Amino acid sequence: MSDLDEFNTAPHAALRQRLLALTASPSWADAVLTGRPYADLDALLGASDEAALQLDEQEVDAALASHPRIGETAAGLDPDSAGRSSREQAAMSHADDAVRAELARGNAAYEQRFGRIYLVAAAGRSGQELLDVLDGRLGNDPDTELAVVRGELARITRLRLADMFATAEAGR
């Protein structure tokens, strides 16, 4: 995507597929598409945030289908999505074995408690920091945690959407 004008005028079906590669939520993608045209990138990012924060529980779970567990590789994703996820979790490559083991334990406890993977905006955070956030969130009640997950999904999606434009700009 080279610029906002292209985003605003791209064919619906093709752009929907690109959006779903960022976050696998049809409701989010449709809400972002419905909001076109956007006056500027901030308006687009704001619409993306709002759409993510309004997702129902089933749509949150659909979106999580395109996210690997923290500390795990992105098996089964297309190469672009797998690469994006790997870059977002880059700090995990520096985590020691104890942190990795604790994250695996925490991921399992989280999934047992909440019935979904632990999602956190991992970019720029150390493995220990991701573990600390996970441990803190295990104390949330399910409704509070669902709201936290929506917020994390909005942050991740915002970063990915902005990166789509930044990457295109850098390629010019």
pLDDT value at 162 more than 60: yes
The pTM assigned to this predicted structure is: 0.85
Burial of 148 by CB count in 10 Å (0-12 exposed, 13-18 middle, 19+ buried)?
middle
pLDDT value at 171 more than 60: no
pLDDT at 167 (0 to 100):
63
pLDDT value at 1 more than 60: no
pLDDT at 95 (0 to 100):
79
Confidence grade of residue 90 (pLDDT, cut at 50, 70, 90): low
pLDDT value at 172 more than 70: no
Residues 6+ apart with CB under 8 A from 140: 148
Q: What percent of the chain has pLDDT over 70?
A: 82
Confidence grade of residue 83 (pLDDT, cut at 50, 70, 90): low
Domain 4-170 top-level CATH class: mainly alpha
pLDDT at 73 (0 to 100):
59
Cα–Cα distance, 100 to 129 (Å, whole number): 12
Task: Please state, as a whole number, how many other Cβ atoms lie within 10 Å of the Cβ of residue 103.
Answer: 24
pLDDT value at 166 more than 70: yes
Domain layout of the chain by residue ranges: 4-170
Ranges 69-73, 82-86, 122-126, most confident = 122-126
**How much is the average pLDDT of 129-158?**
97
Confidence grade of residue 68 (pLDDT, cut at 50, 70, 90): confident
Q: Which tens digits make up the pLDDT trace of 91-101?
A: 566 778 999 89
